[in-house]
Amino acid sequence: MRVAMLSLHTSPLAPLGGRETGGMNVYVREVAAQLAEAGVACDVFTRRTEPALPEIEALGNGARLVHITAGPVEHLEKEALPPLVDAFAEAVEAFREREGLTYDLIHSHYWLSVASGDLLARRWAAPHIAMFHTLGDVKLRARASEHETPERLEAERRLVHSLDRIVAATEHERQLLRQLFRVSPQKVAVIPLGVDLGRFEPRSRAEARAALGLSQTARIVLAVGRIEPLKGFDILVRAIAEMTHREDVRLILVGGDARASVERARLLAVAAEVGVSDRVDLVGAVPHERLAQYYSAADVVAMPSFYESFGLVAIEAMACGVPVVASRVGGLTSTIADGRTGYLIAWRCPSPFAEKIDLLLENEALRDALGANAAQAMHAYSWRSVAASLIEQYEGLTTETAQVAAVGGA
């Protein structure tokens, strides 16, 4: 089987923590490598943003990353990419024709890729499976001040019905697809994300802090993700100020690139306003392979997000044996067992976050118990099992397509 995987707006090899990089990049990279290991030829197509990039790069286990020229060869904001959807599809087709390849199935990620994949699926008469990762309508419901273009909202409402299968990370997401768009549950496969259990595993806190140059005595609260309002990091900054026992507490925020300067400045202003500037460190983006050190160095990981479709940060942190305090939203409700592997906060305001973080920092036995439970629970997650579930979907769809073609040709 040969699969064309589309990731139009962001490369799986892009540094994490930027405006367009996060869990989806990890997902595409890890899944492609696991598919290839299982014998599925996988080409991942992404839009070229730098002239010096080779046309083809290795992703691991024989999977390939193909840089496709569509529009100017430079970084463009996501909002500027919709006019390039058709050009991207044409360039993928040109690559396929030049290489003499036949793709049995298209697997698209995010709505821009789904729109390109829709064009290719019709042209190739191939089944089309997709993962949206986030949906515009859901983001607007989660935070009223979010802005989504009418073009994205209309496209998603249309495309969910043109796909042969949708992959949802949680049952909650499958229910949302039914409630918002009337997508049949039978059309949606629930396949949780995975975690690299060899990289993200319990390690020495002292060694991790020494490697990162962090204090051995500080009590560290860690947050990881894109620096954007939807992540709710300002709630966390205010929570630090409201903690009863905030002596030696440091909040470390990992993530953000040059385009996050406005939100960074806002978070620093909030920290100054509530008197915790000396307790908040914004360290910027770090390579994914180094994140395990940050998780291991932390006492608690916090996720005050307004919405998370799954929350890869949570399972990476828990795999490292660190309890997570997170908003009771989206996929976080599926991965965090409240009171057992961490805490889920129903209200997105500082006080309840401060209360639970206080509790964990003050009670080492409780913190260690929840961390041990979390690490044990994550043994059920692996990228290999994700790939195996996807292959099951692929085989079912390609079989159905072959049967329909046979009937049509009879």
Same-domain pairing of 375 and 394: no
Q: Are 382 and 195 in contact (CB under 8 A)?
A: yes
For residue 17, pLDDT beyond 60 = no
- CATH code, domain with 64: 3.40.50.2000
Same-domain pairing of 257 and 355: yes
- Would you say residue 268 lies in a domain? yes
- Would you say residue 73 lies in a domain? yes
258 vs 242, 379, 392, CA distance in Å? 30, 36, 41
Please state the domain count of the chain: 2
What integer is the mean pLDDT of 102-128?
97
Same-domain pairing of 353 and 392: no
Same-domain pairing of 186 and 238: no
For 296-319, the pLDDT digits (tens) are 999 999 999 988 878 889 999 999
Which domain, by its residues, includes 160?
Answer: 2-194+382-409
What integer is the mean pLDDT of 331-345?
93
pTM of the model: 0.83
- Would you say residue 154 lies in a domain? yes
Same-domain pairing of 176 and 254: no
What is the pLDDT, as a whole number, of residue 245?
A: 80
What is the pLDDT, as a whole number, of residue 25?
A: 87
What is the pLDDT, as a whole number, of residue 148?
A: 82
H runs (alpha helix) in 230-301: 233-242, 261-273, 291-297
Using the CB atoms, write b or e for 230-265: b if 16+ within 10 Å.
Answer: bbbbbbbbbbbbbbeebeebbbbbbbbbeebeebbe
Same-domain pairing of 29 and 171: yes
- Would you say residue 199 lies in a domain? no
DSSP designation for 321: T
- Would you say residue 75 lies in a domain? yes
Same-domain pairing of 151 and 266: no
- Would you say residue 125 lies in a domain? yes
- Would you say residue 92 lies in a domain? yes
Highest mean pLDDT among 65-69, 283-287, 376-380, 398-402: 65-69
Same-domain pairing of 309 and 214: yes
Same-domain pairing of 371 and 227: yes
Distance from C-alpha of 315 to C-alpha of 329, rounded to nearest angstrom? 15
Same-domain pairing of 211 and 133: no
> Taking all residues of the chain, what is their mean pLDDT, rounded to a whole number?
91
Same-domain pairing of 178 and 278: no
What integer is the mean pLDDT of 84-95?
97
Same-domain pairing of 225 and 123: no
- Would you say residue 369 lies in a domain? yes
Q: 5 pairs with which residues across the strands?
A: 44, 107
